[in-house]
Structure 1
Amino acid sequence: MLKSLFSLALASLLAAPVYAAELTAGPMAGPPTLRGVTLWLQADGASRATVEYWPEGTQGAKRRTAPLALTAEAQYAGHITVFGLEPGRRYSYRVVLNDKPAAGGKVYGFATQALWQWRTDAPDFTVLAGSCNYGNEPGYDRPGKPYGDRHLSIFKTMAAQKPDLTVWLGDNLYYREVDYDSPAGMAYRWQRDRSQGYLQEILQVGGHAAIWDDHDYGPNDSNKSFVFKGEALKLQQRYWANPSYGLPDVPGAFSTFSYNDADFFLLDNRWYRDDYRLTDSNRAMFGPAQMNWLKNALLASTAPFKVIAGGSQMLGRSPRGDSWVDYPAEREDFLKFLAEAKIDGVIFLSGDVHRSELGKLERPGSYPLHDLTCSALTSGVYADEKLRNRPGVVPGTVVMGERNFCQLRFEGSKKERRLVLKVINDLGEQKWEHVLEAQALRHPKP
């Protein structure tokens, strides 16, 4: 009798309906490798997630990843790594939650990197970059006119560019006063903002990598004293699919990865940051351990383009926004290293200042350094004509008073390789174009 009752209870449990979970955000791919990619996604409840994938146009060769449990503790977000793919191939995939196709069975796509080394010239590819994404939430926004842009057309414009990679340059969301006073508040902001419909189209195109700045790390102008920075790092890891975060013995959000013939170095300008008002002449933005890592990583790189991304402007100092210039000892030491080690191909990426521009630093006996600042995506913008014609800024490259993003196009044969920089506004209008030849980013031969 007891055995019969147990069998009935078990059968009833197995027959119970499984929660019909759905996607609330994503899927989003991290930077792809030659044979794999990590996919990020978020559901609206506890569920078992898998990905079905196949070479584009051959659905009969479908494979499925191992299941991943999406739990409340992780806000129903997670990463699924797909490996064992072939280089230079496009793959189609769909997300399955609790054994049911999500999003109506919608099919997405990603591409692995090509195995071009020792075989052909590097493929041409397109990278987008931007910073400062403020999503309005009435009741918690600043009083007066909403700081963010309610229309948010810029993400549709970006998706239409069909980038191979998008690099998010910090302030990718804005913690409010009701958020950064607790880990729960910070987690709420990520879950709420990432699920907004206007973001999904760009998240589903190409690969994505991200750094942070003050507003997606903590309060305005946060430094290393922020008591919840450990939680901030967990959330950065939870909501992006960067290949790594810091080192085993050096915590932080910094990382590096390669995409074709460009190496990207993602810096953490908050975890180790001293307040710029400290009188200590050795105050640091990145800290000795991270700078030691960066120097070694640059020496190990053989890529003709070395893109260093930091949340604050790297070369110049303007009346608005913070800059690495406020940390002279650390900055000068690094610039000296670049010159003495003869590191070729360096270009900086930055955000933060709610305008876009191309900074330029001339260096006697070496090639000039450039800092492409990209801002703002949806947050407030302003215009001040005093910022337009400043020393250290390439004439005609300052874009103010409108939302915009940057495009980096790596193209051409090995002998004529070049990097084409553009700034494009939210309507898709090109504001300027500037070409950097790879040959011009090298130290002169003795």
Structure 2
Amino acid sequence: MGGLTTLGVACGPVAPTSTASAAPPKRPDPFRLGVASGDPRPDGMVLWTRLAPRPLAEDGLGGMGRAPVEVRWQLASDARFRHIVRQGTATARPSGGFAVHVEPSGLEPGREYFYRFRAQGHLSPTGRTRTAPARGALTPMTFAAASCSHYEHGYFTAYRRMAAQDPDLVLHLGDYLYEYAPGSYSGTNGVVRRHTEGKCQTLTDYRRRHAQYKSDPDLRAAHAAAPWAVIWDDHELEDNWTGSTPGSKVPGFSARKKAAMRAYYENMPLRASSRPSGTKLQLFRGLSWGALASFHLLDTRQYRTDQPCDDWMRTGCDSRTDPSHRVLGARQLKWLESGLRASGARWDVLAQQIFLARRDYALGPAVEVGMDSWDGYAAERDRLFDAVLRSGARNPVVLTGDVHTAYASDLLRDFDDPASARVGVELVATSIASDGDGYRDRSVNAVLLQENPHFALMDQRRGYIIGRLTSESLTADFHTLEYVSRRGAPARRTARFVVPDGARSLAR
């Protein structure tokens, strides 16, 4: 990809100088965290970078000091920047972690663009992005879905393989990073590389952890390849938190929440409308892709009541059917149903975090389910399914992360009745690296597939989903890597499912 030339600056002859008056040494490269773009619209998108010549500097400011820095940006219609369509300056400030969020507008719909930044005598890598198609367009698209990238459990090769598929949009479904202290949570192959010291608790901790993750070249390559639409899960703050309930017994949850939200915004290509205020972060939002698709990004952490039965997987947890227990909360559910009704798109894609279909681990009549999933909130799931059915959405598709295993499933209005109404389909992206190399236990999978006949796939290896949407069908390809404990694993397609327009069910 082009774009490594300097920004055009007219210069005349330079007179010889003495050693004493020579220019000071060039500052170190501040673009070591790369570039990113996100939340595309028909007339624009977000462009992002964060200055950090020393990404893991102990103060969390990447070695930038305390003075604001002017950053120049350019957006072009070609990779060599011969045709610049927008440019300007932005100020990177220490109060914002030296992050820059630019929102160019007035662009042409359905177009590919290239962007870059310049600061302190250095030019950033070039990123590729695009605008969404015009309203009414049924332009085919390719999206990628990914989740769960634990730095200590393996290398992020899957991100690079995903980027090589040239997606138009990447949907990241949460657990972009993990807050754990070094070595406190080992994957199937142990600790491959080490986290920064300590469990994340302060703004500095979260900033440094984000910087450590973006120091990975494969993650940077994936960000530079396409615009992303991001939504968080729990580990961007701490394991299993919900609403105002911490996931640990460590005091100071409100302060941790505020710090994690601020660092998340600083390090993601989010619009200013998602800038956090205290302990509130507006993340649920919609993106339109012409008349082909509407993407509804959901937040299943911030408005959720605490998990029933102490978060454990179990049988006989009566409170999991309590109608007062919420996942989305009333306001977000109302927003979603309204968005589905107004969409008119051929495909409505719900991007969310926790497992939606029933996942019963007990053979026979007993039901054993996990509480940190929609199974722990059965009444709220019923409300969601009813809202989807009432909305008249033509082709509902749910994208899910969290569980470090790939699944493909039909969503039934009543999972005890195979003949009940089809609500849509759920595609669950396995992890990028979390839990290490993974495995595929065919005997265990066969039992679970028997107990859950709505499942069509279960695969515990690492990887991602590539979805291709047309006006006639959704094709979902599951790509897996055999290992992440060392670099360079190839990715191969190990499963494919097709959902024809109007079917609301996987073609098997």
TM-score over 0.5 for the alignment? yes
Aligned partner (choices 428, 434, 453) of residue 379 of structure 1: 434
Shift of 1:84: 2.4
The alignment covers a number of residue pairs equal to 404
Name the counterpart of 2:105: 83
Measure, in 1, the Cα distance between the counterparts of 2:501 and 2:270. 26
Aligned partner (choices 431, 439, 446) of residue 494 of structure 2: 431
Q: Which amino acid aligns with 2:283?
A: A
Q: Are the aligned partners of 1:95 and 1:102 in contact in 2 as well (CA < 8 Å)?
A: yes
Aligned partner (choices 158, 168, 190) of residue 154 of structure 1: 158
Secondary structure at 1:158 match in 2 = helix
Name the counterpart of 1:305: 347
Change in 2 beyond 3 A, CA 1:222/1:390: farther
Q: Which amino acid aligns with 2:209?
A: R
Secondary structure at 1:370 match in 2 = strand
Shift of 1:64: 5.1
The answer to whether 1:198 aligns with 2:206 is no
Name the counterpart of 1:241: 269
Aligned partner (choices 77, 83, 93) of residue 55 of structure 1: 77
Secondary structure at 1:429 match in 2 = strand
The answer to whether 1:230 aligns with 2:289 is no
1:366-423 alpha-carbon deviations (Å, 9 max, x no partner): 44421111111111135554344244455652112x2110111012xx4xx2100110
Cα RMSD after superposing both structures:
2.8
Measure, in 2, the Cα distance between the counterparts of 1:246 and 1:328. 32
Name the counterpart of 2:487: none
Name the counterpart of 2:200: 180
The answer to whether 1:109 aligns with 2:124 is no
Change in 2 beyond 3 A, CA 1:108/1:335: closer
Q: Are the aligned partners of 1:246 and 1:254 in contact in 2 as well (CA < 8 Å)?
A: no
Change in 2 beyond 3 A, CA 1:316/1:54: same
Q: Which amino acid aligns with 1:405?
A: Y
TM-score by length of 2: 0.73
Name the counterpart of 1:409: 468
Shift of 1:63: 5.0
Measure, in 1, the Cα distance between the counterparts of 2:393 and 2:402. 26
Change in 2 beyond 3 A, CA 1:85/1:370: same
Aligned partner (choices 128, 133, 138) of residue 144 of structure 2: 128
Secondary structure at 2:88 match in 1 = coil
Change in 2 beyond 3 A, CA 1:169/1:240: same
Change in 2 beyond 3 A, CA 1:33/1:349: same
Shift of 1:90: 2.5
Shift of 1:116: 6.1
Measure, in 1, the Cα distance between the counterparts of 2:323 and 2:347. 32
Shift of 1:259: 2.1
1:197-249 alpha-carbon deviations (Å, 9 max, x no partner): 2311111011101111111132x211222323233222232222245549999
Measure, in 1, the Cα distance between the counterparts of 2:351 and 2:28. 40
The answer to whether 1:33 aligns with 2:33 is no
Range that drifts further, 372-381 or 330-339: 330-339
The answer to whether 1:253 aligns with 2:316 is no
Aligned partner (choices 359, 377, 382) of residue 317 of structure 1: 359
- Structure 1 gap segments, 5+ residues each: 1-14, 137-147
Shift of 1:86: 1.9
Secondary structure at 1:39 match in 2 = strand
Change in 2 beyond 3 A, CA 1:250/1:239: closer
Secondary structure at 1:172 match in 2 = coil
- Structure 2 gap segments, 5+ residues each: 1-22, 53-63, 182-197, 247-252, 310-318, 362-368, 414-418, 482-489
Measure, in 1, the Cα distance between the counterparts of 2:160 and 2:281. 35
Range that drifts further, 352-361 or 242-251: 242-251
Q: Which amino acid aligns with 1:55?
A: S
Secondary structure at 1:440 match in 2 = coil
Q: Are the aligned partners of 2:35 and 2:126 in contact in 1 as well (CA < 8 Å)?
A: no
Change in 2 beyond 3 A, CA 1:206/1:318: farther
Q: Which amino acid aligns with 1:102?
A: L
Secondary structure at 1:275 match in 2 = coil
Name the counterpart of 2:3: none
Q: Which amino acid aligns with 1:222?
A: W
Measure, in 2, the Cα distance between the counterparts of 1:334 and 1:174. 29
Name the counterpart of 1:65: 87
Name the counterpart of 1:370: 425
Measure, in 1, the Cα distance between the counterparts of 2:275 and 2:35. 24
Change in 2 beyond 3 A, CA 1:247/1:342: farther
Q: Which amino acid aligns with 1:72?
A: P
Could you list the structure 1 runs, at least 4 aligned residues long, displaced by more than 6 angstroms after superposition: 15-18, 246-250
